[in-house]
Chains A and B, each alone.
Chain A
Amino acid sequence: FRPCPIATVARRESRSHAGDSSCASLAMAEVEETLKRIQAHKGVIGTIVVNAEGIPIRTTLDNSTTVQYAGLLHQLTMKARSTVRDIDPQNDLTFLRIRSKKHEIMVAPDKEYLLIVIQNPCE
């Protein structure tokens, strides 16, 4: 039984507002928790978070693979976003999934980062 780091005990007196730093650390903990869950998920080969310059922030793969994935997917995301917005400039790309024979690459793009998860859906 692993104690859950997110939840607070539902006591009446614990309704005080947490300070900013603890809020941030709480959010950070939650983010780490979710990342860990995703990484530990069945079939997930790797998880990469890169920032806008292509520098990996979090990765479970080795550096060369990470950099390769980051660079290539960055370009692809740009192209995909350009395509989507060319058709309708008010639209924007939210998620990108590439399914290949061996696995599926899922990219959540943003202006500041790229979240990449490679999964092998066991089918």
Chain B
Amino acid sequence: MPEFSSPRFLHHEGYYKARTQANFYYCYLNIQVFDEQGKDVTPRPLYRPEPSASLHRQSKILSTQDFSGATGSDFLSSLSMHQTSGVNASLVGPFSRTYGSSSISKSTTSTTESIADEIVEPGSRRDTAISLSDVLVRREEIKEQLTKEDIDKRVDIYLTETETIWLLDMPTVMVSIESEDAEKVKERNKDYIELCKNRVGNDCFVERMMQTLNGAPKNKEVQCDKILMEDKGIMATSWDLYDSFNALETTLAPSVTERKSITSSSIIDLESVILARIHEEEEDHSEAILKSEKFQQDLFFMERVLMENVFQPKLAAYRQLPEEEEEEGEEEEEEQKEIVVGSSILLDLSEAPEEILPPSLERLWSYTCELTNGHNVSCMAWNKLNPDLLAVGYGQFGFQEQKKGLACCWSLKNPMWPERIYQCDHGVTALDFSLANPNLLAVGMYSGTIAIYNVQTHNTTALLDSSESFDKHIGPVWQLKWIEQDRGTTGDDKGEILISISGDGRITKWLIRKGLGCTDLMKLKRTASERKKLTGEKEKKSEALISRQPPGMCFDFDPRNTNIYLAGTEEGHIHKCSCSYNEQFLETYQAHKGPVYKIAWNPFSTDMFLSCSADWSIILWRQDSLRPILTFSSTTNVVHDIMWSPKSAFVFAAVNEGRVEIWDLSVSTLDPLIVTFANPGVKFTTVLFARNTDCILIGDSDGIVSVYELRNMTASDSNKV
């Protein structure tokens, strides 16, 4: 039996398990610590426990535990480390036990049964020789050579429960009355009380002083590296979660997006980032930003927002919103598409004036920009789908004043800059939006060319152009219109055709063939043969091919029957014609002494139509009568344009050069209802009613299209004359 060595040395005990199946023995290895000089500086134990006390506990533990095969060397090294910190087995009696148990529970491959047997043996064999209660298991340097068979061998690992290790046991000091011991406890309590009572004068009990020995405390200092702490805060917003989730999904799908996912680092620290920047990168990047489409879009919106701020009251009046003192009722919402999407703005069409103010025109704003200054407004047309989109053509009327023309599309949302600008070589004299394809704008020019633009794109070149077709017009195109027509002849059903009338005396029908839009021109050759029996020279026309045809100035289709139309000529005649007959007129109305500039069917009562001419008069006709019904001549100026109001059968507007007149036939047939004068030097040339509101647009010779609101007109929406 190994001797218990000198208590001065701290020694570890270890169980050395030999590979052999022989007896199990243990050797005690004394650990000694030597410093550099070789002096023995092993720390002395502070306390030497009684070996017997801890023995049985230790053995019990061993017997129940599987302690085979802790890797010896590293265990030893860890032990030696702990040694310097003064692990005294005795002092840390309880600790070591747990320590030992933990180490014991480490198990590698080994046969276990034999060990279990052998454990019992040493436990029983141990006696007081085991001085220290530490159950430090250590393995000798001899490692088990694991042969290949060992690795493949099946190893059984038994897990057993250790005995309960009591760290703290505080038994209760209370016992329930109902327990079995209750009686005994009561007895004992009683006895104790008796004892205490008897204690006072009893000889058995003597007071005595005691002094407790205080153990010498030892200070222990430990130093460790500074623990670095870092705080990181993050706000988990629901969009952050959503984005991260989406980002995960998009990275899975092989889609290439250049945008960075919005991570939680969206809280950008501006200051720190500004400092570190390369100049070049900056420049390139800023250029890229400026050119990006999103930026252009944002600029576009911004401009509109600015406009809205400036024009808000006027726009509100346009929309017929009730007037308020505060800035409420802002109805201009941001529309993404500017043209072909129908606006969904509510219209308040009822206007009931409380006071009896005379009807008047109130100027709201003007569509003008520096591009259009100096041009003469020759024609205006609303878009059929978006009633806020206006196309205006700029071109001079007279031959002498011809210069380059312009066609612009204006939007209600930006009265200061047109949405589209189409520069044309010649003055624009007519334009119209298509009904079937509301993005097509047909523009007719002084040269006779007709061009068709697609206003949806930003492309400023014409989609189609008639300048190269055979039968293009030679004279100025004075009017253009898109007409829905039953086209029974060619087999197409309900196609839309473009009709133009021009100064070379022809009314022509233009077709846009399917495909790439070559225009097919089908002429309705109008030989404007006059039936004037008075003058003989005009009869020559009907014979020769080189007949001089009077220029056609205007036309209008019967709203009920698109086969019938009226055409006005420069001679002052109005011919009623039919699409089916291209040789003859059905009727001719002659009353004007000058060129008929405009003809307009009454949209409500379709027997009536108006015509205006350069002879200062406006004539109201009825279809079946060759004599005019009424003549309105209020000024000595050329009447350039007339238009019926889309709301009332009695109201029409007329512009002559110096003023605009609103006539209401239900009120008076002699005088216009409202007269508004133009600025001196400026002539009014065109008029257009707005469909969805009570406003009229007046174009003048200076390139300005003014929007006027009709106020205090009594609502007369009777449709009958």
Q: Does B188 contact A (CB under 8 A)?
A: no
Give the number of chain B interface residues (Cβ < 8 Å): 60
Is there contact, CB below 8 Å, between B270 and A34?
Answer: no
* Min CB gap A96→B, angstroms: 11
Q: A82-B239, A110-B294 are in contact. Are A38 and B423 (CB under 8 A)?
A: no
Residue B327 interfacial (CB < 8 Å): yes
B274 touches A54 (CB 8 A): yes
Contact across chains for A123 and B422 when beta carbons are under 8 A apart: no
Taking CB as reference atom, which chain A residue is nearest B262?
A111
State in angstroms the CA–CA spacing of A121 and B312 once bound together. Answer: 10
Which chain A residues (70-123) contact chain B, with CB distance < 8 Å?
A: 70-71, 74, 78, 82, 85-86, 89-90, 94-95, 97, 104, 106, 108, 110-113, 115, 117, 119, 121-123
The answer to whether B309 and A119 have CB atoms under 8 Å apart is yes
Stretch at the interface among B10-18, B369-377, B550-558, B641-649: B369-377
Tell me if A122 and B270 are in contact (CB < 8 A).
no
Interchain CB contact (< 8 A) of A86 among B238, B260, B290, B422? B238
Interface presence of B292 (CB below 8 A): yes
Q: Give Cα distance in the complex from A45 to B385, angstroms.
A: 37
Decide if B310 touches A122 in the complex (CB within 8 Å): yes
Q: Which residues of A contact B421 (CB under 8 A)?
A: 4, 6-7
Partner of B423, one of A10, A94, A111: A10
> Counting CB contacts under 8 A, is B296 at the interface?
yes
Task: Say yes or no: A89 contacts B298, CB within 8 Å.
Answer: no
Q: Is the CB–CB distance between B274 and A10 below 8 Å? A: no
Measured CA separation A108–B266 after assembly (Å): 17
Residues on B with beta carbons closer than 8 Å to the beta carbon of A41: 303, 306-307, 310, 416
Distance (Å) between the CB of A91 and the closest chain B CB? 9
Q: Are A9 and B270 in contact (CB under 8 A)?
A: no
CB distance from B685 to the nearest CB of A (A): 19
| Contact present for B290 and A38 (CB under 8 Å) | no
A115 and B298 contacting across the interface, CB-CB below 8 Å: yes
Roughly how many angstroms separate A10 CA and B441 CA in the complex, as a whole number?
Answer: 14
| Cα distance A16–B313 in the bound complex, in angstroms | 45
Chain B residues, CB < 8 A from A53 = 268, 270, 273-274, 277
Tell me whether A89 and B282 are in contact in the complex, defined as CB-CB below 8 angstroms, given that A34-B299, A53-B270 are known contacts: no
Please tell me which one of the listed residues B266, B287, B303, B462 contacts residue A37 in the complex, with CB atoms under 8 A apart. B303
Enumerate B408-447 residues with CB–CB distance to A below 8 Å: 416-417, 421-425
Q: Decide: A8 and B299 in contact? CB cutoff 8 A.
A: no
CB distance from B368 to the nearest CB of A (A): 13
* Chain A residue, CB-CB nearest to B292: A112
Given A34-B296, A37-B417, CB of A55 within 8 Å of CB of B423: no
B669 on the interface (CB 8 Å rule)?
A: no
The interface residues of chain B lying within 8 Å CB-to-CB of A14 are: 461
Please give, as numbers and ranges, the residues of chain B lying within 8 Å of A85 by CB-CB distance.
237-239, 242
Which residue in chain A gives the minimum CB-CB distance to B308? Answer: A121
Shortest B37–chain A CB gap in Å is 65
Q: Is the CB of A49 within 8 A of B289?
A: yes
A-B contact count (CB 8 A): 155
Q: With A6-B421, A10-B425, A53-B270 given, is the CB distance from A95 to B243 under 8 Å?
A: no
Q: Are B290 and A31 in contact (CB under 8 A)?
A: yes
Say how far B227's CB is from chain A's closest CB, in angstroms: 34
Q: B676 contacts the other chain (Cβ, under 8 Å)?
A: no
Instruction: Assess the B327–A123 pair: CB atoms within 8 A.
Output: yes
- In the complex, A9→B637 CA distance in Å? 36
B468 at the interface (CB under 8 A from A): yes
Complex CA gap A44/B310 in Å reads 10
Q: How far is the CA of A2 from the CA of B302 in the complex (A)?
A: 23
Q: How many residues from A make CB contacts under 8 Å with B?
A: 58
Cβ–Cβ < 8 Å partners of A10 in chain B? 422-425, 451, 460-462, 465
Find out whether the CB atom of A6 lies under 8 angstroms from the CB atom of B460: yes
Q: Are A38 and B306 in contact (CB under 8 A)?
A: yes
**Which of B274, B289, B312, B462 has the most CB atoms of chain A within a 10 A radius of its CB?**
B289
Q: Is the CB of B302 within 8 A of A108?
A: yes
Chain B residues with CB under 8 Å of A49's CB are 289-290, 295
The answer on a CB contact under 8 Å between A106 and B270 is no
Q: Does B267 sit within 8 A of A, measured CB to CB? A: yes
> Is B531 an interface position by the 8 A CB rule?
no
Bitwise interface map of B from 621 to 653 toward A, beta carbon under 8 Å scored 1, else 0: 000000000000000000000000000000000
Query: In the complex where A2-B371, A110-B298 touch, is A28 in contact with B306 (Cβ < 8 A)?
Result: no
Give Cα distance in the complex from A52 to B243, angstroms.
19
Within 8 Å by CB of A97, from B305, B312, B327, B417, lies B305
**B291 A82 Cβ-Cβ under 8 A:** no
B290 touching A57, Cβ below 8 Å = yes
Contacts of A110 in B (CB 8 A): 294-295, 298
Distance in Å from the Cβ of A45 to the closest Cβ of chain B? 11
**Residues of A13-61 whose CB lies within 8 A of B:** 14-15, 24, 27-28, 30-31, 34-35, 37-38, 41-44, 49, 51-55, 57-58
Distance, CA A8 to CA B420, complexed state (A): 12
In the assembled complex, the Cα of A74 lies from the Cα of B299 at a distance in Å of: 18
Residues of chain A within 8 A of B422, CB atoms compared: 7, 10
**B270, closest chain A residue (CB):** A54
Asked whether B295 lies within 8 Å of A38 as measured between CB atoms, the reply is: no
* B267 A7 Cβ-Cβ under 8 A: no
B231 at the interface (CB under 8 A from A): no
Instruction: Indicate if the CB atoms of B303 and A27 lie closer than 8 Å.
Output: no
State whether the Cβ of B334 lies closer than 8 Å to any Cβ in chain A. yes
A121/B268 in contact, CB under 8 A? no
6 residue pairs bridging A and B, Cβ less than 8 Å apart? A1-B371, A28-B290, A90-B242, A112-B289, A117-B306, A119-B306
Chain A interface residues toward B at CB < 8 A: 1-2, 4, 6-12, 14-15, 24, 27-28, 30-31, 34-35, 37-38, 41-44, 49, 51-55, 57-58, 70-71, 74, 78, 82, 85-86, 89-90, 94-95, 97, 104, 106, 108, 110-113, 115, 117, 119, 121-123
**Extra inter-chain contacts (17) besides given A31-B290, A97-B305, CB under 8 Å:** A1-B374, A7-B421, A10-B424, A11-B461, A12-B468, A28-B287, A38-B299, A44-B306, A53-B274, A54-B270, A89-B242, A95-B301, A95-B334, A110-B294, A110-B295, A115-B295, A123-B313
